[in-house]
A and B are shown apart, each in its own frame.
Chain A
Amino acid sequence: MSSFFSIPNPAAARRLFLAQSGLVLSGAAVALLAGRDALAAKSKAGGADDVRILNTALGAELEAIAAYQVGAESGLLQKPVHALAVQFQGHHKEHADVLAKTVQKLGGKPVVAKSKYSFPVEGLKVQADVLRFAASLEQGAVSAYLGAVPLFANRDLSKAAASILGDEAMHWAVLRNALGENPVPSAFVS
């Protein structure tokens, strides 16, 4: 196995480190975080619009993180479901981190989490309620990213958003499966 310390090229060393450490990000996320000047340069034409799209997505991701926190702290989740919720929340944290850094890279100001969110907590009585609530957010997120992908001026950002869309579609499918529903009810999402 190659040693991280024996690689003179920092970029190659970083890739190896990420691959071996379990911190494997998607290609799109790596591109976003890689600090490529070309990314910012290519975005100048529609940069302001791209920042606005990214910030809307960031706002939704921050709300999803808070929603999963509510679910995790509800006391309604069995241990394996709780672990799943925490894992999914971790994905949303990664999405939010990448989105915020990209907004900054493009010269924008990332939105921050609200001090308080409204969630329908009065309707969360059993584990299935929490799963259904999470599934509805994930379904909405899939639609939101689907509606954002074609709007980016920078196609690298479309690719990154599609990468996040894929992850959230998997969340939705797993949550549907946990509810005993058909995990993949159709060939297309909308």
Chain B
Amino acid sequence: MLEGALLLAALATGDPQAGEAIYPRCAACHALAYDRVGPRHCGVIGRRAGSVAGFEYSPAMKRSKLTWTRENLERFLADPVGTVPGTTMTYAGVPDAKERVDLVAFLANAKCK
């Protein structure tokens, strides 16, 4: 019982170190501190989608009205094109739920300065 609860807790919060090992998959288009083909990731948790100043988003992302809560980001990472049809993040997604939670945990804890 306790073991199950701990597992659920781990899944809920994620492992930032494990997420850091997954983050290089994003490196064709993203960086933490600066915009590239995709927008910067620093400060993404709590940010309104399509709101990094100076970054040219797709109309679909600008219209999405999403705020990047952990849950929304995890949902988007599971299926970017299905979650925001028309996004330029034309990537099939991260299919493993634990990897997604870990990746979000890394992004939430990333040191950006």
Contacts and interface: CB of A to CB of B under 8 A. Distances in A.
Interface of A: 49, 52-53, 55-57, 59-60, 63, 117-118, 120, 136-137, 139-144, 146-151, 190
B27 interface: yes
A140 B25 contact: yes
A144 B38 CA distance: 12
A70 to B, nearest CB: 13
B90 A52 contact: yes
A140 B92 contact: no
Most chain A CB inside 10 Å of its own CB: which residue of B27, B28, B81: B28
B8 interface: no
B36 interface: yes
B102 to A, nearest CB: 13
Contacts of A149: 92
Q: How large is the interface on B (under 10, 10 to 19, 20 to 34, 35 or more residues)?
A: 20 to 34
Contacts, number: 66
7 contacts: A57-B90, A59-B29, A117-B36, A118-B35, A149-B92, A151-B81, A151-B91
B93 interface: yes
Contact of A144 (B28, B34, B58): B28
A150 B25 CA distance: 16
B26 A143 contact: yes
Contacts of A60: 28-29, 37
B88 A55 contact: yes
Most chain A CB inside 10 Å of its own CB: which residue of B26, B27, B58, B89: B27
A148 B89 CA distance: 9
A59 B37 contact: yes
B27 A190 contact: no
B55 to A, nearest CB: 11
B4 interface: no
Contact of B92 (A49, A52, A63, A148): A148
A63 B24 contact: no
B92 A118 contact: no
B25 A190 contact: yes
A146 B36 CA distance: 19
Contacts of A57: 90
B28 A53 contact: no
Contact of A56 (B27, B89, B92, B93): B89
